[in-house]
Amino acid sequence: MENMLSHWKKAGVFAFLILFSLQTWFVYQHYKGSGLSRVPNPQRGEGSILSRAQDANLSALVRSLPAAQSAVPVANLPVTDVLKLYPALEKGMRTPFDLWRYYGKGSSTFSSPILPMRFEQWLEFHEKQKPQLMKDVRAYMGGRFDFSGKVLTHQWMSGGRKPVMAGPIARLPEEIPTFEDLAAMSPETIRAKDIFPYKPLAHPLQTTAHMLFPDSWTAAHPEHKRIDVDMDFPDAYLPEFPPPLFLTTHKELGDISGGQEITFRNYFEIFDGLLTGEQMEGLKELLRPSPTTWFNQTTHRLTLAPSDGVACLDCHTNGHTNGAIELGPDSRPNMARLRVDTPTLRGNYNLLQLSSKRSIRSLDHFSEVEEYFDGDPGMQQAIGPRAVKREVSNRMADFNAIIDYPPAPKLSPLMKLIPSLASEQELRGEKLFHGKAPNAPSATTVPPLSMTTSTTSVSSGFTSGDQKAQSKPSLCAASRIPLPTSMMAERPHSMIQSNFSISSSNSTSIEQKKMIWLPFSSVYNF
């Protein structure tokens, strides 16, 4: 009898636990999508069925994931079945490198200027974490790209001091020996095997993210050396430092900078008498540092010592770029933000659109809106002043509007190669470029990764200007078009951003996209 009672008691306990678990499940359904939850609520259309998804790009991206290779048609799978929820992390904690496999919302749109620990602990934490993180980051980058260190012979960046690298070249899976083999595969197969080599790169530490300067910059500016993470790209593959500066108003002078970095301290001496008063004021503003989310005078910072902040031309060094990266400020949660390179300012006067199509329409716009605080005006209120009035930003734009491309003597005023100056290879490249490669002779020229190739071609055609110093320029952008592998790998960031940006413009044709992504071409205008 007692034994019987004991069994009944145990059965009662199990029944209670089952009921309790069910209750938890019901509560969870209500909790999802609430203000506290990072899990979207499907009933509100968040993370809903792919067939109902508005964005074809997202669907395509999701279909490319290995989890999607199941018997269930992908169109019927909820996003939540093929993507993982972003991990719950505090500021400073490591993030997965394959963030494209994740989804979810943040607990809040708004950030806080308060660290999750005391500043002394913050320093200790990063001191412990950084060595292993950088080791892992370098191993990951080495697995993604072949940083062979090879240079393109006789190709120099516009200052003539740094060679243009033949790479980095994206690594292919072992079963795909060459890019020609990859080119021969259908997009569906590439998706199904999950072997697309240009998956997005995340910021190496996406919980803090923000501006990450290259080694060449931090060597000259140790005040921008971060305690949490270093640049993940080898310096050899980044633009030369300092780069030359060319002005549309003084083409006869060539490089105005004289080989030095233009700073707040020397700009007046260099430009006095060359610029208008408005341009001078604009340049001064571009050189004046101001606090940012993580470079500032408070303890909410990633530098050992309090920082004056960052100036526009700290990343856009000498009106070009030093290869610094950060995250596009146009999305939340932070882990969903896309990594972007610093675009050059060269030739912006001639560009239709700059950078992030979801946030920034032009560089003038960029200087007006709040990007130094990652798109969060609340952080600006808390940390420091940066509220540029329109009259000031217009003057910044005045200077921006005269930053020129490097000289390209082989180009006619109509931006076509002058046949008598160009090599046969360059002319073939130009023909390929202007013809949008309709008759590409073989897969070695243009692989059928249409967006990738298009984007890259456009990038190369307009940007490279890999000039062998000023005195011996040679337009080799066109000649590099038939080398898609190295070219594509040379601009991994920008290309990745452009190809994976989730757009609502489903109907945008490839031609239109080429135009849209034209500004990205300026990213590595060597």
Partner 1 sequence: MDRQKIDALTHSIFRLLVGAMYFHFGVLKFFPDLSPAEMIAEYTVGQLTGFRPDAKSILVVLAAMECFIGIGLMTGLLPRFIFCLLIFHIVGTLTPLVLLPEFCFKYFPIAPTLEGQYILKNLPLFASAWILIFPLAFPFKPKTSNE
- The residues that touch partner 1, with contacts defined as CB under 8 A, are 10, 13-14, 17, 20-21, 24-25, 28, 31, 37-39, 84-85, 87-90, 93-94, 96, 116-118, 121-122, 124-125, 136
315 vs 346: CA distance, rounded Å = 13
For the chain, the straight-line distance linking the first and the last C-alpha, in angstroms and rounded, comes to: 88
Q: What is the DSSP string of 165-219?
A: ES--EEPPPTT--SHHHHHHS-HHHHHHHT--S-PPPPPTTTTT-S-B--HHHHH
The residue (of 104 and 429) whose beta carbon lies closer to partner 1 is 104
Characterize 38-50 residue by residue with b for buried, 16 or more Cβ atoms within 10 angstroms of its Cβ, and e for exposed.
Answer: bbbbbeeebbbeb
CB of 124 to partner 1, least distance (A): 6
CB of 73 to partner 1, least distance (A): 25
Residues listed for the chain: 526
209 vs 375: CA distance, rounded Å = 13
CB of 69 to partner 1, least distance (A): 17
The residue (of 94 and 320) whose beta carbon lies closer to partner 1 is 94
74 vs 159: CA distance, rounded Å = 50
CB of 107 to partner 1, least distance (A): 9
The answer to whether 91 and 207 have CB atoms below 8 angstroms apart is yes
Cis peptide before 173 (omega within 30 of 0): no
The residue (of 86 and 156) whose beta carbon lies closer to partner 1 is 86
The residue (of 300 and 491) whose beta carbon lies closer to partner 1 is 300
Name the residue with tokens 């960031």. Answer: 493
The residue (of 97 and 462) whose beta carbon lies closer to partner 1 is 97
The residue (of 126 and 480) whose beta carbon lies closer to partner 1 is 126
CB of 294 to partner 1, least distance (A): 17
The residue (of 121 and 508) whose beta carbon lies closer to partner 1 is 121
CB of 333 to partner 1, least distance (A): 12
CB of 24 to partner 1, least distance (A): 5
231 vs 386: CA distance, rounded Å = 26
The residue (of 22 and 418) whose beta carbon lies closer to partner 1 is 22
How far is the CA of 104 from the CAs of 41, 107, 441, in angstroms? 10, 10, 44
How far is the CA of 422 from the CAs of 158, 207, 404, 407, 419, in angstroms? 18, 48, 22, 15, 5
The residue (of 1 and 88) whose beta carbon lies closer to partner 1 is 88
Calculate the CA 118 to chain-centre distance: 31
The residue (of 28 and 110) whose beta carbon lies closer to partner 1 is 28
CB of 459 to partner 1, least distance (A): 33
CB of 21 to partner 1, least distance (A): 5
27 vs 36: CA distance, rounded Å = 13
CB of 36 to partner 1, least distance (A): 8
**CA-based Rg of the chain, rounded to a whole angstrom?**
26
Cβ partners under 8 Å of residue 63, min gap 6:
74, 191
DSSP letter at 421 equals T
CB of 58 to partner 1, least distance (A): 20
How far is the CA of 122 from the CAs of 127, 354, 401, in angstroms? 9, 36, 42
- Residue 517: name the closest of 437, 452, 470 by CA: 452
3-state secondary structure of 266: coil
The residue (of 34 and 442) whose beta carbon lies closer to partner 1 is 34
